[in-house]
Structure 1
């Protein structure tokens, strides 16, 4: 186990209820350096943010380009980086693990939808188990379920069923993306206190400490930080058009 993955695992353990792990999502080397300089102890790349920065629609980035950008981000900072690799790009678990480790990342997000279609949960659990077997303790595995995004009926119960399977398959953390804050206590209770739960924070949502008290162990932002940055770029562009700076 590398020092970086050991650090990432330790950051998820024994957190106080009001102190979730906040992982900003860099989309390039410059943003990664800015987040590290602000004092964040680890970073989590967002696939949608990287896609936008490279000129692709979300879900359309070729694996080679996604992993190359992850490698640039890892090289730019000294803190651990975990990478969103979407649904694994159809790579066999051995190749996926090898290629992620080549980037220097020490964690992965793996989601359970293919395009707009949810995968069979048992097949996804088998994929996660295979990734865990190939990676051993070299990667921190965050298992994402998309039931909230895909409009599945009874999403809290459906998410809980899937996430229990994924935890049993070896996931280190689970991620019910799109779950509203009010569902966090039930998910937390159903999953048990020892399993970290990742929450997707949105602008205007509860403060991080409150999300932690509701049940979030870890907070990420998807492309939200890039989107806010682009809002500022738009304002700057307006100033330039008006003749000022």
Structure 2
């Protein structure tokens, strides 16, 4: 498969954020990425959790070298723009952050997100406000030094680390927008009021909402609030693992009389035959 030039992918990805609302699904390997492309989605995003599970690891335990290899793998798997879940940049220092961000951009991705939380011996916690803003600015500078068309997504993790403070979330997202983030993201939001407040705080920049607590609001409501994109996070990977776990339970009970799969061997061979050439 001939790979599409990164510049064309970057332009297409930015265009998606200009109006309306789109779903950004998160594959975890080339097969799931190719299926999503053939299903008609216009862009993809990595899932740190989904990929970690596929490697038999918990989330946030995969090193940066392996993450970058995975980014390259997904970029090469389809013609679609790829947005990377780049955690906190896999570095505690600004110098390390800049280096890793540039390495990520060089894989051909069209966007990457930087979180303002870190997991260490003290557990998962937020970077202090000033450090978080400085890190976002450093990520923007690192991107611009290679390709300013690559988007930066600023993530405020307050609701995911046990600090569900909307005012702090709005303060951080507004600062990240000023520091150069092109899209803003606060995973864990669940109500129309919370999401509306975020959209208004960073307008005209686009807002990403994660499926999870917000999913109950439905696509139309999120679109009408002004959300530009909805990411699936680890939802698809968990759906795959759910099917696998259910099949394993049947085998444990010595049930071998067929699983009634909705996808079979021949369908997968047919679906992927073009990419094997």
Does TM, normalized by the shorter one, top 0.5?
A: yes
* Runs (4+) off by over 6 Å: none
Match of 1:123 among 131, 135, 144: 131
Distance, in Å, in 2 between the alignment partners of 1:243 and 1:105 is 43
Query: Could you tell me whether the CA contact under 8 Å between 2:116 and 2:156 is conserved in 1?
Result: yes
Aligned ranges 1:86-101 → 2 under 5 Å: 86-90=87-91, 92-101=96-105
| Structure 2 residue ranges without an equivalent (≥5) | 1-5, 259-277
Structure 1 match to 2:189: 179
CA distance in 2 between partners of 1:207 and 1:59 (Å): 29
The reply to whether residue 206 of structure 1 matches residue 211 of structure 2 is no
Alignment counterpart, residue 158 of structure 2, candidates 147, 152, 166:
147
Give the TM-score of the pair, scaled to structure 1. Answer: 0.92
Q: Where do 5+ consecutive residues of structure 1 fail to align?
A: none
Higher relative CO (Cα under 8 Å, sequence separation at least 6) belongs to 1
1:38-187 alignment, distance < 5 Å? 38-90=39-91, 92-115=96-119, 116-136=124-144, 137-152=148-163, 155-182=165-192, 183-187=194-198
Determine which structure has more spread, i.e. the larger CA radius of gyration: 2
Residue 205 of structure 1 and its aligned partner are, at CA, apart by 1.7
| Alpha-carbon shift at residue 217 of structure 1 (Å) | 1.3
**C-alpha offsets along residues 126-180 of structure 1, whole Å, 9 cap, x if unaligned?**
1211221221214211111111112225x11110000000000000001011011
Distance 1:122 1:173 in 2: 19
Which residue is 2:273 aligned to? none
Question: Aligned-pair RMSD on alpha carbons?
Answer: 1.7
Contact 1:121–1:165 under 8 Å retained in 2: no
Number of equivalenced pairs:
239
How far apart in 1 are the matches of 2:222 and 2:257?
41
**SS of residue in 2 equivalent to 1:178:** coil
The TM-score normalised by the length of structure 2 is 0.81
Match of 2:18 in 1: 13
Measured in 2, the distance between the counterparts of 1:215 and 1:54 equals: 36
Do the aligned residues in 2 keep the contact of 1:122 with 1:165 (CA within 8 Å)?
no
- Alpha carbons 2:154, 2:173 under 8 Å: kept: yes
Determine if contact 2:88/2:116 at 8 Å carries over to the other structure: yes
- Counterparts of 2:97 and 2:242 in 1: how far apart (Å)? 38
Q: How many Å separate the matches in 2 of 1:205 and 1:67?
A: 33
